[in-house]
Amino acid sequence: MELLLQVPKGKVTTYHALAVALGDEVAARAVGQIMAQNDQPERYPCYKVVHSNGEVGAYSAPGGAAAKVAKLQAEGIPVRDGRIVDLHKYLFTDFETSQPLRQLRQLQEELSAAISLQPLSKGPKTIAGVDVAYSYSRSRGRGEREQAVAAYALLDLKGEPIARETITQEVTFPYIPTYLAFRELPLLLELLEKVRAAGKLADVVMVDGNGILHPRHAGIASHLGVLLGLSTIGITKSLLCGRVDLEGLRVREVRYVLLGGERIGAAVRLSERAQPIFISPGSGIDLEGAIELTLALPGSHRLPEPIRRAHETCSATVQAQARAEKEGKGRQMQMELDL
- Give the per-residue pLDDT at 39: 85
Give the model's confidence band at 146: pLDDT under 50 very low, under 70 low, under 90 confident, else very high. confident
Other beta carbons within 10 angstroms of residue 10's beta carbon come to 14
User: What's the mean per-residue pLDDT of the chain?
Assistant: 93
Higher pLDDT, 249 or 325: 249
pLDDT tens, residue by residue, 34-75: 998 888 888 999 999 999 999 999 998 889 999 999 999 999
- Give the per-residue pLDDT at 137: 43
Average pLDDT over residues 320-332: 73
Given the residues 7, 28, 35, 46, the one annotated as active site: 46
Coil, strand or helix at 55: strand
Q: How far apart are CA 18 and CA 3, in angstroms?
A: 8
Judging by beta carbons within 10 Å of its beta carbon (0-12, 13-18, 19+), is residue 175 exposed, middle or buried?
middle
Least confident of 59-68, 124-133, 226-235, 301-310: 59-68
pLDDT tens, residue by residue, 80-135: 999 999 999 999 999 999 999 999 999 999 999 999 999 999 999 999 999 999 98
Short-list 133, 308, 100, 104, CA closest to 214: 104
Other beta carbons within 10 angstroms of residue 319's beta carbon come to 13
Per the annotation, the verdict on 314 as an active-site residue is: no
Higher pLDDT, 62 or 22: 22
- Give the per-residue pLDDT at 139: 44
H or E element that contains 169: strand 161-170
pLDDT of residue 142 exceeding 50, the answer is no
pLDDT tens, residue by residue, 275-297: 999 999 999 999 999 999 999 99
Single-letter residue type at 142: R
Domains of the chain listed by start with CATH number? 2-97 (1.10.10.10), 104-321 (3.30.2170.10)
Q: How far apart are CA 61 and CA 121, in angstroms?
A: 57
Give the model's confidence band at 140: pLDDT under 50 very low, under 70 low, under 90 confident, else very high. very low
Single-letter residue type at 144: E
pTM of the model: 0.89
Single-letter residue type at 295: L
